[in-house]
Each structure stands twice: as structure tokens, then as C-alpha cells.
Amino acid sequence: MDLRDRESQQRLTESLRLLREELDIREDFPADVLREAEEAVAAHRLPGTDLRDLPFLTIDPPGSTDLDQAVHLARLPEPAGGFEVWYAIADVPLFVAPGGAIDAEARLRGQTMYAPDGRISLHPEVISEDAASLLPEEDRPAFVWHFRLDAAAVVRSVTVERAVVRSRRQLTYAEVQADVDAGRADAQLELLQEIGLLRIQQELDRGGASLNLPRQEIIHDGGSYSILTEPALPCEDWNAQISLMTGMAAARMMIDGGIGVLRTMPEPDDGALGKFRRQSEALDHPWPEDLPYGAFLRTLDVTDPRQLALMHAAASLFRGAGYTAFDGAVPEAVVQSAIAAPYAHTTAPLRRLVDRFVLVICASLCAGEEVPAWVRDALPHLNALMASSNQTASRLDSGAMDAVQAALLSNRIGEAFSAVVLQGSPPAVADAPGKQAPRLSGTVQVTEPPLEAKCYGELVAGERVTVVLLEADIARRRLRFEVKPTDAR
């Protein structure tokens, strides 16, 4: 989808500006934060442990400059075989003084936020895009996780320590996938694929699930906005498995050490599972009774509009995620249900607040040292800080997408579109005697352009309908459709 209408562009720009105001997005850094960041960069010293002989590489979207992770892989000798993984994570704590101006500002922000008209960073750029970023051919401080895996890629040992590293290559996912598909992948990329696929199988074996939705990205070229929708590449999943493995190892370390902060999520309840099963039947891709939902999700071809709609519907199974901090008694609920294991956020400290604390906890536990008091003092507050930040980021993402979609369709009022009903309209019941019942409505997945929206009319889940665009309000960031009268029941 592409938007080039000048008037709609102007209204969209204003809508996005107001969205940031409504959400009270902190954009510019205060002077004391910038000053402290410059001083921290000038004063920092690299760790004593030197791992610059390991040829790390990074894999990120094109144009990325805030590089949190770098990886190096090796095969262990036969007869036992197996693998060795070194995973370097940016040493953000080295640049953030506990209780200082950067620390205080980062707690207010919670995470880096992404908007169509610019990124709002968690840390000043001199840290996040330079001194702490694992840029190629630069010596950088890092927390280095060292794994030894067996031949099935099961973790047999893991340590983490601070060290200086030097990335040799900065790759994009598209470059990695192109090399693998063309048969010209080097040993590192071949190992990434091999280990990634083995870890995916372990995820399935333990009952985990991944919501592999296509990327839906708003592109702004300086003159116009467009929405790019494309499926995730296989290599993104392989790379994500290294991060997931690290998060699981961090969680296990903290549970064993009796202190930490976990990322938890409850199992989906029977009602959510039943609804999703009905949706799968309505969308002509029924979920077999004997197949775990995680395995079923991996059968979906998101290039098919109906299976894409089903993958979106599966988001209802991934609700209730939060953070659980503890210092002493380990809580009963420690599992992240989609991963089907205890898990912690630890691999994105440049972009997410909580990871900075998890890294310090794990490095301290691994070294047999006391966890610093400033980390312990922060633990009771991290859940609320991250929950607030996640809510703001979610509202920014959805609001921006709603605004852009409304702008893209703003000149198509009255046009008809093919759609599939995702959520049928409930029976109309008046709130009080003599009061008119609310208008019937449900949710539809429009086939082209691919988007989900509210639709008025009597709707039955799974039915294919023709809908007419009633409203595309850029200022209110709202789309509304009505089922075409000939399709009304």
C-alpha cells in the first residue's frame, strides 16, 4: 500500500504529531543526560578479558545502528560433536551510572520506541548508536555468553562474563537468507541455520509456540508514506533462537541464584483455545485435535490471506505477559508459556530497560559475586516501569498504523472490498428498557489491502463478505466498514 496524495500526507503528518503528544512521548534528551552520556563515553575503560580474536558478526534489519547482539559459532569435534556459541551483548551498564541522569531518564522511557516519522531512543545516541553499539571493526565492551551444546543443540554448559569484542561483519537478514538460498553461505551462516533448526525442534518438543507474523512496517521516504507487508525470513527465526536460548539460560541462572526478573506469561485458557479452534475452521484451515497449537502455527502459510488472518487471530493465545521480579523466594509462576520454559529479557539492553539489570545479575551470579545493591533496589520497580512503557509503545504502534491505514484509504469512501469475518457480531441487546440496542458490529480481515477493521452489520465468523468503506478518519485514526446490503443476513 502506498500513499502519495498530498492533502492526506499533510493530515497524516499532523495526526502522527498529535499521537506523540497524546502519549507524552519523551523525544529530546535533557541537557544533563546528554552531558553525562558524553562524559561516560570519554571515561569508559574496556574490560580486561579480551575476546577480539573471535570473529563475531551481527545480523539486523538494514540501516540499523543500535546493535545489541553479535554472535560467533563453532562446531565441536567428534565423536561427541555438538556446538559452541559465543553471544556478545552490548555492555550498556558500563555507560550508565546507577542513580545518575541517564539511569533516571531511561526509567522514564523504558524502551526505544519506533514511529513512522522517527525513532525515540532509550539512551542518547552517543551510547546507543556509537560507544556501546557492536559496530563492525570497532572494539566494544560486552557481556559474552558462552554456550556448549550437544549434537541436538541442547545446552550442556553456559557462562557469562564481561569482555572486549570486535565484530567483523554487519549483515542484514536479507543478505543472510540470500546466501543460504544460493548455496554460498559460509561456515558461520551454515551453523546458524543448523543450530537454529535444532533449537526450533526443541521448542516444538517442549510445547512452545512462535507467533511468526509478517513484518508490517510503515515506510517514510521523506515525501510519502507506505506500508510494507512481507513474511519473516527463515533466518530471522534461526537468529531468534540464539536470543531465546540466552534468555532461557539467564532465567535459569537467576532462579538458581534466588534473585532476578523473569518474563512470564500464563497458558492460554480453554476459552481462548476454543475460540481459536473455531476461527481455524471458519478460515478453512482447521486445527487438528492431536496437534499442539505451537506446532499448528508453524504449518500456517502467511502468504495466504486466510492463514495470515488466522495467525493474527492466534495473538489471543499470547496474552498476559509481564515481568516477575524476586529477591529470595522464587515465585511459583516462572514459565513463559509461549516458550514453554522460564525466560528473561537479556539480549537488547540498548533498546529495553530491564535487560540492563538482568545482565548484571547474571554476570554477578556466574562470577560468584554479590548482586549490586542498586540492582536489588530497582527490582521491585521494574515490572511497573516496563508495563507502562510497553503500553505506551503498543499504543504508539497501533495508533500510527491506524492513522496510516486511514490515510491510505481516505480517498476510497464508498468503495467495496472483499473480506473474511474474523469476529462475528454478538446479539444486539439494549442497555436499558426503552433504550435502542447498539448497532451490530464485528471484525473483518480485508483481503486487499490487507488490514483488520471494525465492520457494521450482522456478521458470522468465517463468512466471506463484501464490505463498503464508511469512514477513513485520519485525525481520529479510525477505519469503519459496513457489510454490503446484498451480503447482509
- Domains present along the chain, CATH in parentheses: 2-266+320-406 (no CATH), 416-487 (2.40.50)
- Grid cell at residue 194: 543448523
pLDDT at residue 429 is higher than 50 = no
| pLDDT tens-digit readout, 314-366 | 888 999 999 999 999 999 999 999 999 999 999 999 999 999 999 999 999 99
List strands edge to edge, sheet with 2-3: 2-3, 225-230, 215-220
Location of C-alpha cell 530497582: 378
What would the mean pLDDT of 382-400 be, rounded to a whole number?
96
Contact 117, 13 (CB under 8 A): yes
pLDDT at residue 10 is higher than 90 = no
Which residues make beta-bridge pairs with 466? 418
Return d(Cα 441, Cα 455) in angstroms, integer: 5
Location of C-alpha cell 510494507: 228
What would the mean pLDDT of 275-294 be, rounded to a whole number?
88
pLDDT for the residue 13? 87
Q: How confident is the model at residue 487 (pLDDT cuts 50, 70, 90)?
A: low
Return d(Cα 197, Cα 360) in angstroms, integer: 30
CA 419, 420, 423, 424 torsion: positive or negative? positive
pLDDT for the residue 223? 66
- Grid cell at residue 126: 552517543
Task: Look up residue 347 and give its amino acid.
Answer: T
What would the mean pLDDT of 117-137 be, rounded to a whole number?
96
pLDDT for the residue 421? 82
Q: How confident is the model at residue 430 (pLDDT cuts 50, 70, 90)?
A: very low
| pLDDT tens-digit readout, 154-207 | 999 999 999 999 999 999 999 999 999 999 999 999 999 999 999 999 999 999
**Percentage of the chain surpassing pLDDT 90?**
73
pLDDT for the residue 437? 57
Q: In sequence order, which residues have a C-beta less than 8 Å from that of residue 474 and are 6 or more positions away?
A: 8, 11, 12, 15, 403, 406, 407, 410
Q: What integer best gives the mean pLDDT of the chain?
A: 92
- Grid cell at residue 74: 563453532
pLDDT for the residue 432? 46
pLDDT at residue 481 is higher than 60 = yes
Query: 10 Å Cβ neighbour count for 220?
Result: 18
Return d(Cα 245, Cα 160) in angstroms, integer: 13
- For the chain, state the CA radius of gyration: 24
Return d(Cα 401, Cα 394) in angstroms, integer: 11
Pairing verdict, β 83-90 and 139-149: antiparallel
Location of C-alpha cell 443476513: 489
Q: In terms of residues, how long is the chain?
A: 489
pLDDT at residue 85 is higher than 70 = yes
- Grid cell at residue 171: 549483515
The pairs formed by 43-46 with CB atoms below 8 angstroms and a separation of 24 or more are 44/94, 44/95, 44/131, 44/141, 46/139, 46/141, 46/164
Nearest partner of 267 among 312, 319, 315, 311, judged by Cα: 319
Angle among Cα 416, 420, 424 to the nearest 5 degrees reads 110
Contact 483, 470 (CB under 8 A): no
Core vs surface per residue 449-486: b (16+ CB within 10 A) or e: ebbbbbbbbebebbbebebbbebbbbeebebbbbbeee
Instruction: Provide the whole-model pTM.
Output: 0.90
Return d(Cα 167, Cα 175) in angstroms, integer: 17
Return d(Cα 195, Cα 170) in angstroms, integer: 20
- Report the Cα–Cα distance between both ends of the chain, in Å, rounded: 31
Contact 467, 444 (CB under 8 A): yes
* Range scoring the smallest mean pLDDT among 53-67, 340-354, 368-382, 473-487: 473-487
